[in-house]
Amino acid sequence: MAALLSPEQIESYVDNGYLHLPAFVDERWLADLGSASDEFVEQSRSLTASSRSIDIEPGHTAEAPRLRRLSSPVDHHQTFRSFTLEGPVADLAMELLGGPVRYHHSKLNYKWASGGEEVKWHQDIQFWPHTDFSPLTIGVYLDDVDAEMGPMGVVPGSHRGPLFDLYEPGTNQWAGAMNSLDVSRLGLDSGTDVAWLDGPAGSVTVHNCAMVHGSQPNMSDRPRPLLLQTYSAVDSFPIAGIGANGATGPTSGVVLGGASTQQVTVAGRAMTGAPDWSRKGAPTIFGSQQAR
């Protein structure tokens, strides 16, 4: 397969923690993804409260839908499934991570027109810690996105910095965002220290799991659908018991582009772990030992 990225782009991802690839996804995929997305907008019209898969904003009505998010699109529509597991973004993840990858989760953030909500500064890895820092998220804009529409903003190089506490200070309440003191300590000038990743439909953003990132409200009169999918290296595993790690849908954990050797390194010690029995159920130690 022809390389999708130059060695300089891969080096830039490693150094800066992100990539911006304008108009990367072709029109055929965009048309298919757009009509799959439209099906969920239609479905949302009958909702008066968020469902398990479709998160709606206050003010959502059948006549004027306002969607926040479609959760796990991979598990709800064949087009999203093919795109994320076999399409150009899967190839991109494999190229960046240097071999087979482990799919973690996906979502479609709509950020609706005229006030679609901001995403406060945060890092992703605290939501779903892994045994390393290889996980990355690839975003695809399904429509043209300009500066006014709340594009993804990343703080270049921040993936090499501290890992922030995303709880409400002094409480055990998960806030999902950095607190204002930590944000002020970063001293961000949003004009020079943040890369705002906008672009025509099909533009791609990639950010490392430790990257500080967020986005502003959408002040335009058009929604900003951003399809996001997360992958890790094949020898990186989600740590259970934190958030919904590894339990975000039946597809979570699927390996793309090869097979897992179950090699894992924990606290600097490498081992070959047991096979993945999470789908079929585990045999007993007696069964495994007597079968040899």
**Residues in the site for ligand AKG, rule: CB under 6 A?**
109, 111, 119, 124, 152, 213, 215, 226
CB-based closest residue to ligand AKG: 215
In the bound state with ligand AKG, the residue whose beta carbon lies nearer, of 4 and 125, is: 125
Judged by CB, which is closer to ligand AKG: 55, or 95? 55
CB of 133 to ligand AKG, least distance (A): 16
Nearer to ligand AKG, 99 or 200 (CB): 200
Look at the block and give the residue holding tokens 């058009």: 222
Minimum separation from the CB atom of position 264 to ligand AKG (A): 25
110 with 220: CB under 8 angstroms? no
Closer to ligand AKG at the Cβ: 214 or 253?
Answer: 214
φ, ψ dihedrals at 4, nearest 5°: -90, -25
| Gap between the Cα atoms of 228 and 269, Å rounded | 32
Cβ closer to ligand AKG: 178 or 235? 178
- The separation between the first and the last C-alpha atoms of the chain, rounded to the nearest angstrom, is 40
As measured in angstroms, the least distance from the Cβ of 243 to ligand AKG is 12
In total, the chain counts a number of residues equal to 292
Name which of 79, 70, 96 is nearest 17 in CA terms: 96
CB of 122 to ligand AKG, least distance (A): 7
Instruction: Return the sign of the alpha-carbon dihedral for residues 17, 20, 21, 26.
Output: positive
Q: How far is the CB of 137 from ligand AKG (least distance, A)?
A: 7
Helix (H) / strand (E) containing 68? strand 67-71
Tokens of 191: 């004009």
